[in-house]
Amino acid sequence: MEKLLEVKNLCVNFNTYGGEVQAVRGVTFDLHKGETLAIVGESGSGKSVACKTIMRILSANGYIKDGEILFDGKDLTKLSESEMEKLRGKDIAMIFQDPMTSLNPTMTIGKQIMEGIVKHQGLGKDEAKTKAIELIDLVGISEPEKRFKQYPHQFSGGMRQRIVIAISLACNPKVLIADEPTTALDVTIQAQILELMKDLQEKTEAALIFITHDLGVVANMADRVAVMYAGKIVEYGTSSDIFYNPQHPYTWGLLGSMPTLDIGDNDLYNIPGTPPDLMHPPKGDAFSLRSDFALKIDGLAEPPMFKVSDTHYAATWLLHPLAKKTEKPINVSRKKVSIDE
């Protein structure tokens, strides 16, 4: 399949009073045309920073220390701000968690959708208006002409996120990055928005990078999954590789803490311990400090990416031919947990 985006050995640091935070530590992945790649991992694992770096919207204290981001024959890490400006929204668009912060409360939503269309597609006002109304309709909002003239506060949270999606799709981006687009919404609305995104993606053939800490969301959405921990990708593969044949103890932990339908929250099991301090990342396997499956070598050297299959890779010493074979914990196999367990 054709590669649309290639991220190679991306390293991103932040300067802070306390020292340098190594938020992204050598991330490599690619994105094919039209596919959905999910990036999953606990809070602080570097998911948002990695994707904001692709958009080059890091906060002022952040910088790209190393690596390449290849898109359409260009290395995005080397583009000037004005070159990036042309690309942002048009070729690569991003949707954030909280739709309210992405919308301007003082402007009608019609105008906000039209802005990008006028800027990037050079359409006249009337054409842009027609397209904006079409988009409002496309994201499943009724009475689009009436809605066109309204302000964000006249929309519910789920509707606002639909509008944000409409804005992001206005210029037919090749890559859409959705950073936890549904976490601020209630569960039923979440499901509707996910369905909408999936549907629109099929129609527009945009490639989607979907960021979430909830593996449950990923199962029905993603073609491939990249699992991030402490600024690194520790395992990646197709959805079925990750769900049915996970190899990294961290992925086991994430699968074990997945909420089940009959309970609806994830308080039952959380991975014990906390992620490491990224100002002083540990030597060796960063997850081993929290893992029941740690080997002696984990504290000494960082595991390379071991190949599990042509589609599946994981960075854990457990995959070394000399490592003792480990039984995966049973809660990995997505067993149903009953309330009184």
Ligand X SMILES: Nc1ncnc2c1ncn2[C@@H]1O[C@H](COP(=O)(O)OP(=O)(O)OP(=O)(O)O)[C@@H](O)[C@H]1O
- Which residues of this protein are in contact with Mg ion, per CB under 5 A? 48
Q: How far is CA 239 from the centre of its chain?
A: 14
Write out the DSSP string of 32-74. Answer: ETT-EEEEE-STTSSHHHHHHHHHT---TTEEEEEEEEEETTE
14 binds, among Mg ion, ligand X, none (CB under 5 to 8 A by kind): ligand X
Judged by CB under 6 A, the residue of 4, 7, 10, 41 near ligand X is 41
Q: Which is nearer to ligand X, 213 or 248 (CB)?
A: 213
- Residue 16 found at the interface with ligand X (CB under 6 A): yes
Q: How far apart are CA 3 and CA 144, in angstroms?
A: 36
Which is closer to ligand X, CB of 118 or CB of 258?
Answer: 258
Angle at 45 between CA 222 and CA 317, to 5 degrees: 85
Q: Taking CB under 6 A as the criterion, which residues in 200-219 touch ligand X?
A: 213
181 binds ligand X (CB under 6 A): no
Closest approach of Mg ion to the CB of residue 121, in Å: 30
Residue among 48 and 161 whose Cβ is closer to Mg ion: 48
Q: What is the CA radius of gyration of the chain?
A: 21
Of the candidate residues 61, 156, 220, 240, the single one contacting ligand X (CB under 6 A): 61
- Taking the complex as a whole, the smallest distance from the CB of residue 177 to ligand X amounts, in Å, to 12
* Dihedral pair phi/psi, residue 201, rounded to 5°: -65, -40
Of positions 59, 80, 142, 188, contacts ligand X by CB under 6 A: 59
Shortest distance, position 49 Cβ to Mg ion, whole Å = 8
Binding track over 281-320 against ligand X, x by CB under 6 A = ----------------------------------------
Long-range contacts of 330-335 (CB under 8 A, 24+ apart): 331/255, 331/256, 331/269, 332/246, 332/252, 332/255, 332/256, 334/243, 334/255, 334/258
45 binds, among Mg ion, ligand X, none (CB under 5 to 8 A by kind): ligand X
CB of 67 to Mg ion, least distance (A): 19
Backbone angles phi, psi at 239, to 5 degrees: -55, -45
On whether the CB atoms of residues 209 and 35 are closer than 8 A, the answer is no
- CB-nearer residue toward ligand X: 17 or 339: 17
**Which residue, 204 or 266, is less far from ligand X as judged by CB?**
266
Q: Does 142 bind ligand X (CB under 6 A)?
A: no
| Least distance in angstroms from the C-beta of 231 to Mg ion | 13
In a 10 Å sphere around its CB, with 0-12 CB exposed, 13-18 middle and 19+ buried, how is residue 26 labelled? middle
Kindly tell me which of 62 and 181 has the beta carbon lying closer to ligand X: 62
Residue with Cβ nearer Mg ion (23 or 109): 23
Length of the chain, please? 341
Tell me how far apart the alpha carbons of residues 167 and 128 are, in angstroms, rounded to a whole number.
Answer: 12
Indicate the SS3 state at residue 143: coil
Q: Running DSSP on this structure, what letter comes out for residue 144?
A: H
**Beta partners for residue 307, in sequence order:** 313
Q: Give ∠ CA 175-311-272 in degrees, rounded to 5.
A: 85
Asked if 274 interacts with ligand X (CB under 6 A), we say no
Q: Examine residue 101 and tell whether it contacts ligand X (CB under 6 A).
A: no
Smallest separation (angstroms) from ligand X to the CB of 64:
14
Which chain residues interact with ligand X by CB under 6 A?
14, 16, 21, 23, 41, 43-49, 59, 61-62, 213, 278
